[in-house]
Amino acid sequence: MLWVKSFHIVFVASWFAGLFYLPRIFVNLAMVPADSDAERARLLLMARKLMRFTTMLAVPAVGLGLWLWLGYGIGRGAGNGWLHAKLGVVLLVLGYHHACGVMLKRFEAQAVARSHVWFRWFNEIPVILLAVAVVLVVVKPF
């Protein structure tokens, strides 16, 4: 079980690294001048590659988490409300990941109506989600 848990942590950390950086690329894309096609193309290429790589990291992170939950029975029994809350956080992270994919498609279609300031705030969401998930797993408050 410790091997599965270790690799789960590695893949979750790697997945979040991508979720921390992808919206920073969106900030830069939102600031690109309209006549700067080369800069826009370079940032879009970076965002597409990072989105693909981040998605590839999310799959084993979620899969190993399911293995821990269903295969080893982590979180079963009384007093495990923390796990249900953590699963809710995981769903929010998956939703955030999906939203990043939708925003990338909008940037590719040049159909983004948000400012770089909005993307700076959007960039803070995964930090909060990660902090909540870690507190739930470590502290197990309920």
pLDDT score at 72: 73
Q: What is the predicted pLDDT for the residue at 41?
A: 98
Give yes or no for a contact between 116 and 30, defined as CB atoms under 8 angstroms apart: yes
Is pLDDT at 75 greater than 70 in this prediction? no
53 pLDDT exceeds 70?
yes
Task: Give the pLDDT confidence score for residue 64 in this predicted structure.
Answer: 96
Q: What is the four-CA torsion angle of 53, 58, 61, 65, rounded to 10 degrees?
A: -170
Nearest in space to 123 (alpha carbons), one of 9, 2, 29, 46: 29
The whole domain housing 65 covers: 2-139
Report how many domains make up the chain: 1
Q: Give me the pLDDT at residue 29, please.
A: 97
